[in-house]
Amino acid sequence: MIKTIKGLHHVTSMASDARQNNAFFTDVLGLRRVKKTVNFDEPNVYHLYYGDETGSAGTVMTYFPFENMMRGRAGVGEVGETQFSVPKGALCFWKDHLAKQNVGSLNADTVFGANRLRFSGPDGDSLALIETADDARAPWAAVGIPEEAAIRGFSGARFNLHDTAATEELLGFMGYQRADAEGDVTRFIMPDGNGADTIELAKLPQTGFARQGAGSVHHIAFAVDNREQQLEVRKALMDTGYQVTPVIDRDYFWAIYFRTPGGVLFEIATNEPGFNRDEDTAHLGEALKLPGRYEPFRDQVEAGLAPLTA
Ligand code: ZN
């Protein structure tokens, strides 16, 4: 069994409009944009990262805004809900704040005994705030969001699956423990995790498969401290029969990817070197950062990207 995974590292989704996406995650949700770079395979598309002050693992929501991309269709084989942690009592603020910002599909309920507020992102993204006791992570101090309500990072994610058995086995192998079940949803928790440490598996045998598009999660990344641990995890997964990519340099972390039996694309990402590798913490996310191979073409790359207001 793998013992070095700490919970989530980041969640990466797709969007249809960079400016709208940036405004939503910074102004409405109060996250900090910690990196403004481009899709390493398509430099005419941004890769925007939003998180806490430094982009700590377990706080980072990232987006590829493909301009005018068609919306995805929800279904099984994907991350069905991305869940952020807020302090107990914070949903009072958020209900009012999100309603004032005309955020869609606001829906309050409880899940595993915790208060949850579900809502849609700008492309119909399935997002939720979940009240969590004793989340010690410091929030980013955003304008208009009181500290006592601010997002602490992810609490976790829910996967919508046709069948959950193989994914349950995989999560157990990755170090998660089965905690409880509610209806057709089983919850797993990473002991001694980084706060972004729950995964819910919803078993939906009658639901059709998702079609990815704007508002869909592209992949979900789990955190290990360093490259040495990542190589151990890669070997363990391959020894178990998973097809895992070679290690890929993503400038701010090292990544390996593998497709899971339920259809969700997993990544294992390192906490090193981090987002302040090429910018001071005080100015994270401000300048357009390009991977080395695109630097000679900076003018053309920049001309192809919609300027972001802040
Ligand atoms: Zn990723």
**DSSP-assigned beta bridge partners for residue 65:** 15
Residue 139 CB: number of other CB atoms within 10 A?
Answer: 24
Cα–Cα dist 103/109, whole Å? 17
Q: Which of 159, 155, 191 is nearest to 172 (CA)?
A: 191
Q: Coil, strand, or helix at residue 122?
A: coil
* 186-215 average pLDDT score: 98
Ligand 1 centre and the CA of 12: distance in Å? 6
Find out whether 185 and 201 touch, Cβ atoms under 8 Å: yes
Ligand 1 centre and the CA of 46: distance in Å? 14
Domain boundaries, the chain: 8-303
Ligand 1 centre and the CA of 93: distance in Å? 31
- What does the pLDDT look like over 72-109, one tens digit per residue? 999 999 999 999 999 999 999 999 999 999 999 999 99
Confidence of residue 309 (pLDDT cuts 50, 70, 90): confident
Q: Coil, strand, or helix at residue 56?
A: coil
Ligand 1 centre and the CA of 303: distance in Å? 25
Q: Which of 191, 217, 185, 187 is nearest to 199 (CA)?
A: 187
**DSSP-assigned beta bridge partners for residue 82:** 127, 157
* Phi (first) and psi of residue 10, to 5 degrees: -150, 165
For Cα atoms 132, 31, 11, give the angle at the middle one, nearest 5 degrees.
75
Torsion of CA 135, 138, 140, 142, to 10 degrees: 80
Ligand 1 centre and the CA of 223: distance in Å? 11
Residue 309 CB: number of other CB atoms within 10 A?
Answer: 9
Cα–Cα dist 281/270, whole Å? 19
- What does the pLDDT look like over 110-132, one tens digit per residue? 999 999 999 999 999 999 999 99
Q: Is the pLDDT of residue 310 over 80?
A: no
Q: Which of 219, 223, 215 is nearest to 252 (CA)?
A: 223
Ligand 1 centre and the CA of 62: distance in Å? 8
Token pair for residue 255?
A: 């990544």
pLDDT for position 16 = 98
Ligand 1 centre and the CA of 219: distance in Å? 6
Ligand 1 centre and the CA of 10: distance in Å? 6
Ligand 1 centre and the CA of 89: distance in Å? 32
pTM: 0.98
Report CA-CA distances (Å) from 68 to 16, 18, 65. 5, 10, 9
Q: Coil, strand, or helix at residue 13?
A: strand
* 148-170 average pLDDT score: 98
Ligand 1 centre and the CA of 61: distance in Å? 10
User: Taking the domain 8-303, which CATH number applies?
Assistant: 3.10.180.10
* Phi (first) and psi of residue 143, to 5 degrees: -65, 130
The terminus-to-terminus CA distance of the chain in angstroms comes to 44
